[in-house]
Amino acid sequence: MLSLARGRFLRLFIGNMASGKTRHLLTEIDTLRRYGHKKIAVFKPMTDSRSGRGCIKSRKGDEDAAEEISATDPRDLWAILRAKESAAGCRFEVVAFDEVQFFPRNSGLFQLVRHLLDQGYDVLASGLAFDFRGEPFGSTPDLALLAEDRCMWMTSYCTKCGDRAPYPQRIINGEPAHYNSPQILVGGDETYEPRCDEHFILPGRTVPGVDEASPQRKIWPMEVTPEDN
């Protein structure tokens, strides 16, 4: 009986917009196909409209065909994968996903990817780390746990100053978007720019992690105030 190699790996390209995540994903796919002779199935959420229908595309212009699956219930992947394997007459070795942030945490993508790994597939993925609020985006952080040290952080640079830019600044009608605008806007007039900590502007932002009354802040103050003379 043929036994499958278990405990395959997930390689995740994670970072901000314009950091080369999709470009690196496409390079990896091309290398594995061309030199590793691997059969690869590529998927993306239907939510992704930037690349156009039925494909994934880097900002540089590289592209590859991709099957679109539901962002809220990505289990349609199984039927598509089986059909592709039947048509090819062999088992695929690698499954790739672009834009994994569009799969919400409760979509089941984490469990699906873990199952793919258990089934002997290697998995490649790319995803935005933070949303326009500077908060963890969809399934990306969950997949980072599965990727372990194969999580590759891609850097982008601030459009204002050129510093490292972790956050996507959402701009609507030339103004920074309010904290309360929805996490995902489909087909809107908004644009995005990579921004650093200093130039990331988010009107209405609350800071839930900060406790002004915390005793630690009194014992170890974060801000040093000049001493009175």
Instruction: Give the catalytic positions in this structure.
Output: 99
Segment contacting Zn ion by CB under 5 A, of 40-48, 66-74, 100-108, 195-203? 195-203
* 14: helix, strand or coil: strand
**Amino acid, res. 34:** R
CB of 198 to Zn ion, least distance (A): 5
Report the site for Zn ion in 162-181 (rule: CB under 5 A): 163
Q: Could you report how far apart the first and last alpha carbons of the chain are, in Å?
A: 83
In the complex with Zn ion, which residue's Cβ is closer, 85 or 163? 163
Q: What is the Cβ-side half-sphere exposure of residue 63, based on CA atoms within 13 angstroms? A: 13
Sorted by sequence, the CB contacts under 8 Å of residue 26 that are 6+ apart come out as 56, 58, 62, 63, 64
- Does 196 participate in binding Zn ion (rule CB under 5 A)? yes
Q: Quick one: which of 98, 49, 40 has its CA closest to 74?
A: 98
- Does 158 participate in binding Zn ion (rule CB under 5 A)? yes
Q: Where are the alpha helices (DSSP H) in 39-179?
A: 76-88, 109-118, 140-147
Sorted by sequence, the CB contacts under 8 Å of residue 50 that are 6+ apart come out as 57
Q: Which of 161, 183, 206, 214 binds Zn ion (CB under 5 A)?
A: 161
Segment contacting Zn ion by CB under 5 A, of 43-51, 101-109, 160-168, 181-189? 160-168
In the complex with Zn ion, which residue's Cβ is closer, 56 or 158? 158
In the complex with Zn ion, which residue's Cβ is closer, 111 or 191? 191
Q: Which of 160, 171, 179, 201 binds Zn ion (CB under 5 A)?
A: 160
Q: Which of 33, 84, 199, 205 binds Zn ion (CB under 5 A)?
A: 199
Which residues would be at the binding site for Zn ion (CB under 5 A)? 158, 160-161, 163, 196, 199
